[in-house]
A and B are shown apart, each in its own frame.
Chain A
Amino acid sequence: IAGITQAPTSQILAAGRRMTLRCTQDMRHNAMYWYRQDLGLGLRLIHYSNTAGTTGKGEVPDGYSVSRANTDDFPLTLASAVPSQTSVYFCASSDSAGMWDTQYFGPGTRLTVL
């Protein structure tokens, strides 16, 4: 069982380029999330999806978009990358968005925007 996979593992990207970070889970979880982690700031929620076909904005959504066409996949797109989007991006999933549900994280994507 793979759990959550993310691709690519790392990427160096020129500013202004479009980039899609991929996230796939095989646990049939309903809820999925995208976070970014920056030194000194901790994890911050970018976008989330409580179930396939629905998405919502988190704490720092600007410059990012998501889609949830099916249960397993939750891609994150940077339409026009900027250097401030240099970060480590974690995808996560949980069975539901309930109060005590554990979130399981993928291994992360390290993105550098030059």
Chain B
Amino acid sequence: RKEVEQDPGPFNVPEGATVAFNCTYSNSASQSFFWYRQDCRKEPKLLMSVYSSGNEDGRFTAQLNRASQYISLLIRDSKLSDSATYLCVVNLWRGSTLGRLYFGRGTQLTVWP
């Protein structure tokens, strides 16, 4: 079983729409959580960290539900420039081993005019 599971999509939405992505993680010992963004044929870049209380950065809102082991990303007022693949990422510490990132396969978003 993969550490991180995501709906691969694709999600195709018009400009201005609100879209939500979900992600589940398998290990309750996971300790930190992130959303990364990856444009086509480019490197992943950090979009935002996901804190237990939830956090917002402009049009982006991230939520964490530790009880359900579930992470979400909400994008409001979608822009054409939001078209990308969104990667759900968890940092898992296993015993004495330092934390390692585990990446979901990504959810593809296309915003159309």
Residues in A lying within 8 Å of B, measured CB to CB: 35, 40-45, 48, 50, 56, 58, 90, 97-100, 102-103, 105-108
Contact stretch, chosen from B10-18, B43-51, B53-61, B65-73: B43-51
Residues in B lying within 8 Å of A, measured CB to CB: 4, 31-32, 42-46, 49, 87, 91, 93, 97-101, 103-106
Asked if B98 and A97 make an inter-chain contact with CB atoms under 8 angstroms apart, the answer reads yes
The 5 A-B pairs with the shortest beta carbon distances in the complex, nearest first, are: A105-B43, A42-B105, A43-B103, A97-B98, A99-B32
* Given contact pairs A99-B99, A105-B44, a sample of 10 additional A-B residue pairs in the complex whose CB atoms are under 8 Å apart: A41-B105, A42-B105, A43-B87, A56-B97, A97-B98, A97-B99, A99-B32, A100-B49, A107-B42, A108-B43
Contact count A vs B, C-beta below 8 Å: 44
Asked if A100 and B32 make an inter-chain contact with CB atoms under 8 angstroms apart, the answer reads yes
Asked if A105 and B45 make an inter-chain contact with CB atoms under 8 angstroms apart, the answer reads yes
